Amino acid sequence: MQDQQIDFRPNCDACAALCCVMLPFDAGEDFGFGKAGGVACRHLQGHACSIHADLAAKGFAGCQHYDCLGAGQRVVQEVFAGKSWRSNPDLLAPMERAFRAMRRLHEDHALLQAAARLPLTPQEETDRTALIADLAVDHPQTPASLSAYETGPKPRAVRGFLASLKARLQPHR
């Protein structure tokens, strides 16, 4: 069985700067100031970062290193049909919930794909492909489907499978 292909590359042009609003960060080496989650970064102008070309030089290397795994554009384009919290502030909370769940779904999928590079037993490979198939959807995501994913048993099953690999692959001391 082929793994379902998800484009994990972020496309900021198709997003609504969800990471710049949703994610909290603390002032420190990677962030020039602290910000609470759900609050737009002060460098955000419209849906673009006013210092994007100079993030590291301006003290925001953490922004440069963050990767939404393509969750941001899927939430905006697929879940909310291109709508934005900027033009409809009532969308901020549902977009935040959808972004968190979509990021988790993409991360789980990416980790299962990465596990294919490990020396898996035949049973582990069967389990891995079954988990990927269980994550696959042949219809667009919705706020309800993402909520069901996040609160349902699938993330726990993925984490359990990955933990079993980690325990088996770690050298015994």
The pLDDT-based confidence of 1 (bands split at 50, 70, 90) is very low
Share of the chain above pLDDT 90, in %: 83
The reported pTM is 0.88
> Tens of pLDDT along 4-17?
578 899 998 899 99
For the chain, the DSSP string reads -PPPP---S--GGGS--HHHHH--B-SSSS-SS-B-TTS--TTEETTEETTGGGTTTTT-HHHHH---TTHHHHIIIIISTT--TTT-GGGHHHHHHHHHHHHHHHHHHHHHHHHTTS---HHHHHHHHHHHHHH--SS---HHHHHHHHHSSHHHHHHHHHHHHHHHHSPP-
> Tens of pLDDT along 118-165?
999 999 999 999 999 988 877 789 999 999 999 999 999 999 999 999
State yes or no: pLDDT of 80 exceeds 50: yes
> Tens of pLDDT along 51-73?
999 999 999 999 999 999 999 99
> Tens of pLDDT along 22-33?
999 999 999 999
